[in-house]
Amino acid sequence: MNASIEQYLQEQAAKTTLRFLTCGSVDDGKSTLIGRLLYDSKLIFDDQLAALEADSKRVGTQGQDIDFALLVDGLAAEREQGITIDVAYRYFATDKRKFVVADCPGHEQYTRNMATGASGADLAVMMVDARRGILTQTKRHSYIVSLFGIKEVLVAVNKMDLVNYDESIFRIIEEEYREFASGLADDANIVCVPISALKGDNITEASRAMPWHDGITLMDHLETVDVEPGEEIHSFRLPVQWVNRPNLDFRGFSGTIAGGVVRPGDEIMALPSGQCSKVERIVTMDGDLEQATRMDAVTITLEDEIDISRGDVICAAQDPLQLTDQLSVHLLWMHDDELFPGRQYYLKSGNRTVSCVVTDLKHRVSINSLENHAAKKLSLNEVGVANVSLSDKIAFEPFGDNRSLGSFILIDKQTNGTVGVGLFDFSLRRADNVVWQVLDVNKSRRSDLKHQKPCVIWMTGLSGSGKSTIANILEGQLHAMHRHTYTLDGDNVRHGLNRDLGFTEADRVENIRRVGETSRLMVDAGLITIVAFISPFRTDRRMVRNLMDAGEFIEVFVDTPLEVCEQRDPKGLYRKARAGEISNFTGIGSDYERPAHAEVHLHTEDMSPEDAAAQVMAYLEERGILSS
């Protein structure tokens, strides 16, 4: 590396870094502002350092060679090419500071990307078009900024040149924004600056067109705002990303410190195991350290051989993290398919991934009024407060105490796509008070007494396909063989256990969740449980399957064409649905998702109910369910 590049890198390393995002509604001028910052500040892009090595004459002068219009056009072209589906990060520096800016799209459908940018930012530049004022997307982004704990907000009232630099317009927008933001966070620091990103007014130099503004410029604030953490008051936390064992003589635990300070000799605790030891070394590529702090990427070794895996958290022994599997959370939903309580997802926090269920949606937050509204579901870009139940206990801290260990994403189990992002609020008290009671008489002993293997025979299909008829015949045959059974029928259950539920998608999800939990208890009792429910959604059927042990869930697809079901129509439901008297009826007003890999596939158009029951019975015999 030549001397000029090496000197440049040394200078940059000595500067503090501000991570900020630009957000706001569509066409408020985010790309224009970023282009102006890159142009006026005579900046160097970190991703072009390799090119600078080959042409050291450009060091420190690249900004002078940039045509501002071309730069802004280039940013706009990226949007047209769809690059902003993900957050675009820009890296630049001035004489005083380094910057990492997340260029977040303003479109409502890309709110998820804005949340991504907010998750790692220290400051938000909230763009507002002076002609349009505060919009719904402005409020939505402001709420997310507050939700992610960003205390520094710079409100850039842009396009002042298009309103003749009218002070009254700026003051009205400033007052309206401050009034709205007062309901978000009491400790937020809001600075409002009138600008024209296109013409450069109040970006790096004070505007002569707005002598009435005696505040600092946008760049003045970015260069001087204090976002560096003060005296470290949090205890040591290290989420383990990798167990490093290149040979038998070395075993280290690598990761980025999420809080506190660590030194050799410090006592630590590994969670969730609870085992303790002392720090032996703090290892880095540049040699051992005497201490390491938040955001340092390190490998630590311990004095003792204790069991630690990826996803565990190493923390200060005198102040360990909480362990829980039941939490209250704030959740931003980021998928076109709505969230309904009862469905299962993967929850990923830090380096730990566990299965989870949103057990209760307590309320939805109105972005415009910040009021809480009762809700049974969350739609795309909506924020709600919910309870989640995890398959295993995790180590966590509330988001307000630790951004790394206090946040999570939800992942769809089928597509592995991210569908939500959330923040931990607190552990539910019942998580610590409720423990699993081990009983002497268990499922194995109950099923041995009955000389059978317990299972759930889950019959799914359209209304009129013959599920209940086949279930009734099947249970009669099993009863004749002295097998211990019980049938849960969709209509019968709605007379009691689920009588409070309707037929909306949210109610259907809850309907299957309750039946799934009931089925699990019956299997635990050693019974062969027959379930006859339309259960139209694959996600819900998979949720019930996951409640059971391997081999205990037998999905039976009662496959009957819609037109045949309509011809049968034993309850007159299809006729009513076609007449508009019944809404959300499966096959007419609501979709049915066919099983992809059912254990038993019954084509009932071509067979009698008795033959269908015989096919299920043959499967049970083949799998040894009926073995005595």
Residues 426 and 467 both lie in one domain? no
Given 433, 451, 471, the domain boundary residue is 433
The confidence score (pLDDT) of residue 12 equals 66
Residues 203 and 329 both lie in one domain? no
189-193, 284-288, 508-512: least confident range: 508-512
CATH, residue 257? 2.40.30.10
Residues 218 and 249 both lie in one domain? no
Given 224, 254, 269, the domain boundary residue is 224
**What is the average per-residue pLDDT within 452-481?**
92
Report the amino acid identity of residue 408: F
Give the separation between CA 29 and CA 27, rounded to whole angstroms. 5
92-142 tens-digit pLDDT: 888 888 888 887 765 665 666 777 778 778 899 999 999 999 998 899 889
| Cis? peptide before 272, omega within 30° of 0 | yes
CB 272 within 8 A of CB 395: yes
Residues 183 and 257 both lie in one domain? no
Q: Is residue 180 within a helix (H) or strand (E), and if so which, with residue range? A: helix 167-181
The confidence score (pLDDT) of residue 94 equals 83
Question: How many CA atoms lie within 13 Å of 435's alpha carbon, on the beta-carbon side?
Answer: 5
Give the separation between CA 349 and CA 60, rounded to whole angstroms. 41
* Cβ neighbourhood burial of 228 (10 Å; 0-12, 13-18, 19+): exposed
Residue 166 lies in a domain: yes
The confidence score (pLDDT) of residue 519 equals 92
The confidence score (pLDDT) of residue 469 equals 93
Residue 243 lies in a domain: yes
Give the range of the structural domain holding residue 253, as residue numbers without chain letter: 237-316
CB atoms near residue 259 (< 10 Å): 24
Which residue carries 């470290």 as its tokens?
232
Backbone φ and ψ for 369, nearest 5 degrees, come out as -100, -15
Residue 232 lies in a domain: no
Average pLDDT, the chain: 83
Is the pLDDT at 503 greater than 90? The verdict is no
| Cis? peptide before 570, omega within 30° of 0 | no
Catalytic positions are: 535
Q: What is the DSSP string of 245-258?
A: EEETTEEEEEEE--
Residues 452 and 423 both lie in one domain? no
Report the amino acid identity of residue 350: G
Give the separation between CA 24 and CA 107, rounded to whole angstroms. 9
Residue 84 pLDDT level (bands cut at 50, 70, 90): very low
Residue 438 lies in a domain: no
33-52 tens-digit pLDDT: 988 888 776 544 444 444 43
CATH, residue 570? 3.40.50.300
287-291, 349-353, 557-561, 599-603: least confident range: 349-353
Residues 175 and 293 both lie in one domain? no
Residues 346 and 476 both lie in one domain? no
Residue 82 pLDDT level (bands cut at 50, 70, 90): very low
Give the separation between CA 22 and CA 203, rounded to whole angstroms. 14
Is the pLDDT at 557 greater than 90? The verdict is yes
The confidence score (pLDDT) of residue 87 equals 63
CB 602 within 8 A of CB 612: yes
105-119, 208-222, 426-440: least confident range: 426-440
**Which 8-state DSSP code applies to residue 213?**
-
Residue 25 pLDDT level (bands cut at 50, 70, 90): confident
Residue 62 pLDDT level (bands cut at 50, 70, 90): very low
Structure tokens at 12: 């940059």
Residue 617 pLDDT level (bands cut at 50, 70, 90): very high
The confidence score (pLDDT) of residue 4 equals 65
Give the separation between CA 215 and CA 375, rounded to whole angstroms. 44
Identify the CA nearest to 151 among candidates 191, 188, 192: 188
Neighbouring-strand partners of residue 408: 422
Residue 15 lies in a domain: yes
**What is the average per-residue pLDDT within 326-336?**
89
Q: What percentage of the chain exceeds 90 in pLDDT? A: 36
**What is the average per-residue pLDDT within 509-527?**
90
Residue 457 lies in a domain: yes
Residues 241 and 117 both lie in one domain? no
- Secondary structure of 303-323 as H, E, C letters: CCCCCCCCCCEEEECCCCCEE
Residue 372 lies in a domain: yes
C-alpha radius of gyration, the chain, whole number: 30
CB 177 within 8 A of CB 190: yes
Give the separation between CA 598 and CA 590, rounded to whole angstroms. 21
Which of 82-91, 114-123, 232-241, 555-564 has the largest mean confidence? 555-564
Residues 259 and 333 both lie in one domain? no
Residues 85 and 152 both lie in one domain? yes
Question: How many CA atoms lie within 13 Å of 411's alpha carbon, on the beta-carbon side?
Answer: 14
Q: How many domains, in total, are found in the chain?
A: 4
Which of 228-232, 507-511, 619-623 has the largest mean confidence? 619-623
Structure tokens at 526: 């050693």
Give the separation between CA 509 and CA 602, rounded to whole angstroms. 24
The confidence score (pLDDT) of residue 108 equals 60
* pTM of the predicted protein model: 0.67
Residue 627 lies in a domain: no
Identify the CA nearest to 8 among candidates 65, 51, 64, 67: 51
Given 433, 462, 491, the domain boundary residue is 433
Structure tokens at 403: 């951004």
The confidence score (pLDDT) of residue 74 equals 42
Q: What percentage of the chain exceeds 70 in pLDDT? A: 86
The confidence score (pLDDT) of residue 196 equals 94
Residue 215 pLDDT level (bands cut at 50, 70, 90): confident
Secondary structure of residue 111 in the 3-state scheme? helix
- Secondary structure of 47-79 as H, E, C letters: HHHHHHHHCHHHCCCHHHHCCHHHHHHHHHHHH
* Alpha-carbon distances, residue 389 vs 142, 350, 469 (angstroms): 29, 17, 36
Which residue carries 């795309």 as its tokens?
380
Strand bridging mode 528-532 / 485-489: parallel
Residue 559 pLDDT level (bands cut at 50, 70, 90): very high
Give the separation between CA 547 and CA 524, rounded to whole angstroms. 11
Q: What is the DSSP string of 422-485?
A: EEEEEE-HHHHH--PPP-SS-HHHHHHHHTS--EEEEEE--TTSSHHHHHHHHHHHHHHTT--E
Residues 214 and 352 both lie in one domain? no
Separation of first and last alpha carbons in the chain: 78
Residue 72 pLDDT level (bands cut at 50, 70, 90): very low
Orientation angle between helical segments 136-147 and 167-181, nearest 10 degrees: 50
* Cβ neighbourhood burial of 581 (10 Å; 0-12, 13-18, 19+): exposed
Residues 66 and 176 both lie in one domain? yes
Torsion of CA 610, 613, 619, 620, to 10 degrees: -120
357-407 tens-digit pLDDT: 998 898 888 877 778 888 888 998 888 999 999 988 899 988 888 888 888
The confidence score (pLDDT) of residue 48 equals 45
Length of the chain (residues): 628
Residue 300 pLDDT level (bands cut at 50, 70, 90): very high
Residue 185 pLDDT level (bands cut at 50, 70, 90): confident
Is the pLDDT at 593 greater than 80? The verdict is yes
